[in-house]
Amino acid sequence: MAGPDDRGRSSPPEDERGLSPLASGYRMAEPYVGAAFSLVASVGAFAALGYWLDKKVGNRTPWFLLLGALIGMVGGFIGFFRIVLGLNEKGRGSRR
């Protein structure tokens, strides 16, 4: 007999049937990996833009590179936390 805590454990979702526990874990981690990748890509893209701008202007000190990396970090972290906290909110709502 299933108790109140066993509601979600009766059977896996239809798209996860037949997956190994490792594959199921990867599937659950996918949104977080995507969020981390977008953070890294944001920092890299803005830093590259800053580097290019420094070369274009002819700066000897990498001010645009530093500014681009800083903007990329701030924007990347904002996006990262929106994704991660949004996923946690969705998870909390489905457990009720």
Residue 12 near residue 67 (C-beta atoms within 8 A)? no
User: Which amino acid is present at 77?
Assistant: F
Token pair recorded at residue 31: 């949104």
Distance (Å, whole) CA 2 – CA 33: 34
Residue 49 near residue 30 (C-beta atoms within 8 A)? no
Domain ranges of the chain: 42-87
Identify the pLDDT of residue 64.
96
Which of the four pLDDT bands, split at 50, 70 and 90, describes residue 37?
very high
Range list of H helices, 1-96:
21-57, 63-95
Q: What is the mean pLDDT of residues 70-96?
A: 80
Distance (Å, whole) CA 20 – CA 76: 33
